[in-house]
Amino acid sequence: MKSLVLVSIGGVFGTLLRYFLSVIIPDDRTGTLVANMVGVALASALLVLMERRGITELRHLLLPGFCAGLTTFSAVTAQSLEPREGGLLFLAENLVTSIIIIIIILPLARRVIPVRS
């Protein structure tokens, strides 16, 4: 039950940040792309932190909670199928950029975040 509460709280805050980004960046596609890139970068760094520090409660709050609330693959999918030009390009842009961010952030986080002694 504690994990459910932590994921829920994290999800609320991640979703609120996602909404705030949509206010700052009114273009749906750009807002979705920015939210997903920030979420992927944050999740990559947090994954290393949680793996090295083993903090289960924070893992639930931040990864499936906050980061999942911030990112949205369903919006990417819907926006890729909209009757606008470049839908598949938008999907590819999200996927490729996400992979590039992971390739950059994971090794960097592994160098910067020490293993708990």
Q: Is the pTM of this model over 0.75?
A: yes
pLDDT at 12 (0 to 100): 95
**In a structure prediction context, what are the per-residue pLDDT tens digits for the chain, which is 117 residues long?**
888 999 999 999 999 999 999 999 988 889 999 999 999 999 999 999 988 887 777 888 898 999 999 998 888 888 888 766 778 888 899 999 999 999 999 999 999 998 876
In this structure, are residues 18 and 70 in contact, taking their beta carbons and an 8 Å threshold?
yes
Residue 21: predicted pLDDT: 92
Q: Residue 23, class by beta-carbon neighbours within 10 Å (0-12 exposed, 13-18 middle, 19+ buried)?
A: exposed
The residue whose two tokens read 């947090």 is 46
Token pair listed for 97: 């950029």
